[in-house]
Structure 1
Amino acid sequence: MAYTKRSAPRDHLLATASRLFYIDGINGVGVDRILQEAEVTRATLYRHFAGKEALVVAYLEREDQMIRALWNEGLGHAVSPGHALEMAIEGIADDAYRHHTLGCPFIKAASEFPDPKSPVRQAINKHRAWFHAELRRLLVEAGRDDVDAKAETLAMLRDALMVGCFLDDPDVTRRTFVRNARWVADLR
């Protein structure tokens, strides 16, 4: 994808901030460090973002877009509703195991922004609502019963997976997630 001169600095700034926020925590990274590592001026930051909070929201929206793209790409190869459910479970496990090895960016951000009315928490809630809805959709399409309870359980297992891959043995955590998620989704 070609970037215009106007969007390239924004994308570079956002990519740099995203990396730093994920690795060192949002509150652990100051604007000056982001500007220094991105090699952009303060004016560039404020040309594209109203402030650090807006940059944090953009970071979470970027994460959301990347996860949705991976989700849609993975499910695009499913040959049946049951297969789509299996692929979703494997995709969730793969994401935690390979891409989000330091935990879930949304859980981490929520721990730093406890106010449920903040724009940051609204971005987190939007992502989580999408994820829950996708799980419910897959369960319905696969003909499962009690889809709300199963979707809530799968989402909770995903949260545990994201934390477990960071804190514990990722191989054991991945296997445990897949085994339990398959059981919840009636994929025995």
Structure 2
Amino acid sequence: MTIATETPTSARVPGAKVRILETATALFYGDGIRTVGVDRLIGESVVTKATFYKHYGSKDRLIVDYITLKHETARQQFESIVESADSAEGALRAIVAAIVAEIARPGFRGCAFINAAAEFPDPNHPVRAIVVSHRDWYTSALADLLTAVGHPMPGDAADEFLLARDGAMTGGYGGDPIAASAALQRAADRVIRAAVAR
């Protein structure tokens, strides 16, 4: 009796809709949303034009799905870190470590949400709405952790934490990633110590 050792091709190859979104995610983050055209998305996704339009209808809908996926992924990662930590302080420090690791990752190109906001300056554009919603969620989630560690002003501290993260992500891409990461760690440590020192 022969035991099959390979997964059938149909199980290994993602469906066309998933493949298009995965391709868009890599290209939009790596090269910029506006610079990537539909023909390139179709070619690199290895789908037909009809298949692309059947699943997404337009590049605009794909862009919204891309930034929505970025939010969902970030949220899942954040929640996973919090669930794995032994305390709220441990979770905050683990979040900083995850940001530092992201900045050091090959192909890092800054924060996907800041990049998207820069490409879509109209505050009424659906992409901007998702970016604002993401940042509101992120600030609220940080404030919850800072409340749990006893920070006297968790909302303000969450704003400071997020601003330090934004600066590190931008500085890590546009400048010296080591210096940016070290600055983030110092800023986050000050925010956390303001709570645990009480």
TM-score when normalising by structure 1? 0.90
Instruction: Give the residue type in structure 2 aligned to 1:183.
Output: R
Residue 175 in 1 paired to residue 182 in 2?
yes
Question: Post-superposition shift, 1:99?
Answer: 7.1
Identity value in percent? 34
Larger radius of gyration: 2
Query: TM-score, with normalisation over the residues of structure 2?
Result: 0.86
Deviations 1:45-99 (A, max 9, x none): 2222131111111111111122122212222221122222222222232233327
Q: Secondary structure of the residue that 2:162 maps to in structure 1?
A: helix
Q: Does 1:144 align with 2:148?
A: no
CA drift of 1:176 comes to 1.2
> Aligned equivalents of 1:136 and 1:85: distance in 2?
10
Answer yes or no: is the 8 Å Cα contact 2:143–2:155 preserved in 1.
yes
CA contact (8 A) 1:85 1:142 kept: no
For this pair of structures, how many residues does the alignment match? 185
Distance 1:98 1:72 in 2: 21
8 A contact 1:53–1:120 mirrored in 2: no
In structure 2, what is the Cα distance between the partners aligned to 1:35 and 1:175? 41
Choose which of 9, 18, 41 in structure 2 pairs with 1:11: 18
Supply the distance in 2 between the matched residues of 1:47 and 1:162 (Cα, whole angstroms): 36
Q: Could you list the runs of 5+ residues in structure 2 that have no partner in the other structure? A: 1-9
For the 8 Å contact 2:23–2:44, the answer to whether it is kept is yes
Calculate the aligned-residue CA RMSD, in Å.
Answer: 2.0
1:78 to 73, 85, 98: 85
The DSSP-based 3-state class of the residue aligned with 2:40 is: helix
Q: Distance in 1 between matches of 2:151 and 2:104?
A: 27
Q: 1:93: which partner in 2?
A: 100
Aligned partner of 1:56 in structure 2 is 63
What is the distance in 1 between the residues matched to 2:189 and 2:124?
Answer: 35
Task: Give the CA deviation at 1:139.
Answer: 0.5
**Is residue 158 of structure 1 aligned with residue 155 of structure 2?**
no
Question: What is the letter of the counterpart of residue 119 of structure 1?
Answer: P
Aligned counterparts of 1:113 and 1:48: Cα–Cα separation in 2: 23
CA distance in 2, matches of 1:171, 1:64: 26
